[in-house]
Every structure is written in C-alpha cells, then in structure tokens.
C-alpha cells in the first residue's frame, strides 16, 4: 500500500552482476520485498522510481546485471526489506557487488538546519555475492579504491603498494577467522579497486543518477 507522511525518502542504488541463467521471473521473486513495499503487484509495476528521471529497477540485458536507481517513500521498517532482498539476491549473483541505500529525512528542512538540529538522514552500504568470499572481495576492492583515492591527494600511486598490502592482510585475517567453521574458497586477493562510494551515517548525500 502507498505510504503517506512517510518519515523518509529511501534511495537504493547499485549494479549487481547476475548469473547468465537468471531471468526476469527470478529477479521478480528476488526483488519482491522492494516492489511489495512500494505497494505494487509485480516487479513491472513496482520497478518505477518515485522520481521519473531515475531508471528504477531494471535488468540490463547487455551487461546481464541488475541496475538499481530507485526511490520509495518509507519508514524504518524498510530495513527488513533490504535484509530479505540481499538474501534473495545472493543466490542470483555472479560476483560480489555493493548496494548503496540512503534514507533522506522528510521532516528536516532549512529552518531545522539553521537552528542547529540534526537530521535523521542515514546511509547504508550493503554487499551481496554468491559466496561470503565474493562479498568480502567486493568489500576489499571498495576499501582499496576509497583509501587510494584519498591518499593520492598526498602521495603518488606507486608509493601506495604497502598500504594496499596492509589492507589485504587485514582481509586475509578476517577470512581466516571465517574458514575456521566454513569452507569459503579463496580469500580476497589484490585485483585493483573497482568499488564506488563509501559507508557512513548522517549528512546529506546527493542522489545518484545514471
């Protein structure tokens, strides 16, 4: 059902690579938590964003990837939908990927900001993938990308190999802790940063457009 006077505008953004055998029917089932939350009866109906300039939820046939640039009005209960969506998408992915979710406080305005009040804006970075190792790889690549981008303001890229090695060691240690109880395959390895964005809470984050 439609949500009136919702506490937030919630923007979901990302590109998730899918297995070659995944089609629209499987994608509709995986994204059911999102389109049902929006009050739709199908993915086709619910894929449209609240903002017409955003592509919404769509299958990119050429890249065979789920493209997400979709906004919905909602409340804190949307977080459970995100958990359910991630669990569903894990089974359909061909590699690890990040999904950015931004909660924009609908009640916060310029007058509140001028009075020094804080908004309830929130920003989440979610990760999906076929295995925990693939998810960790996506996390590692994003962190390397963010750290290198920040440090290249002060150092030449060729000087940062040691920093990247330290990050790889941290993820290897985390992976070793996981494999004590699970067989997860190979640990994250250096493959260059190809992530985007970053994690954090609060602050106004501009909406992404394709």
pLDDT surpasses 60 at 2: no
Q: Rounded to whole angstroms, what are the CA distances from 45 to 41, 42, 72, 147, 153?
A: 7, 5, 13, 40, 45
pLDDT > 70 fraction of the chain, expressed in percent and rounded: 77
Over residues 51-79, the pLDDT tens digits come to 999 999 999 999 999 999 999 999 999 99
DSSP calls for 136-162: HHHHHHHHHHHHHHHHTTTS-GGGGHH
Q: In the CATH scheme, what architecture does the domain 8-130 have?
A: 2-Layer Sandwich (3.30)
Residue ranges per domain, the chain? 8-130
CB 98 within 8 A of CB 14: yes
Over residues 89-126, the pLDDT tens digits come to 999 999 999 999 999 998 865 555 555 566 779 999 99
Mean pLDDT of the chain: 83
Tokens at residue 143, please?
């962190």
Over residues 21-55, the pLDDT tens digits come to 999 999 999 999 999 999 999 999 999 999 999 99
């Amino acid at each position: 059902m439609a949500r009136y006077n919702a506490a937030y505008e919630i923007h979901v953004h990302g590109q998730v690579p899918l297995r070659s055998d995944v089609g629209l029917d499987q994608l509709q089932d995986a994204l059911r938590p999102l389109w049902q939350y929006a009050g739709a009866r199908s993915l086709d109906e619910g894929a449209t964003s609240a903002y017409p300039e955003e592509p919404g939820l769509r299958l990119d046939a050429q890249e065979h990837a789920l493209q997400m640039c979709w906004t919905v009005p909602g409340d804190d209960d949307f977080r459970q939908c995100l958990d359910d969506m991630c669990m569903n998408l894990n089974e359909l992915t061909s590699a690890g990927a990040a999904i950015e979710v931004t909660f924009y406080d609908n009640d916060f305005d310029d007058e509140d900001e001028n009075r020094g009040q804080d908004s309830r804006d929130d920003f989440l970075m979610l990760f999906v993938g076929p295995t925990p190792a693939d998810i960790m790889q996506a996390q590692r690549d994003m962190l390397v990308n963010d750290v290198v981008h920040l440090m290249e303001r002060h150092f030449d890229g060729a000087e940062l190999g040691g920093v990247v090695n330290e990050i790889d060691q941290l993820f290897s240690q985390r992976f070793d802790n996981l494999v004590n109880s699970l067989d997860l395959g190979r640990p994250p390895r250096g493959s260059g940063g190809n992530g985007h964005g970053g994690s954090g809470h609060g602050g106004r984050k501009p909406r992404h457009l394709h």
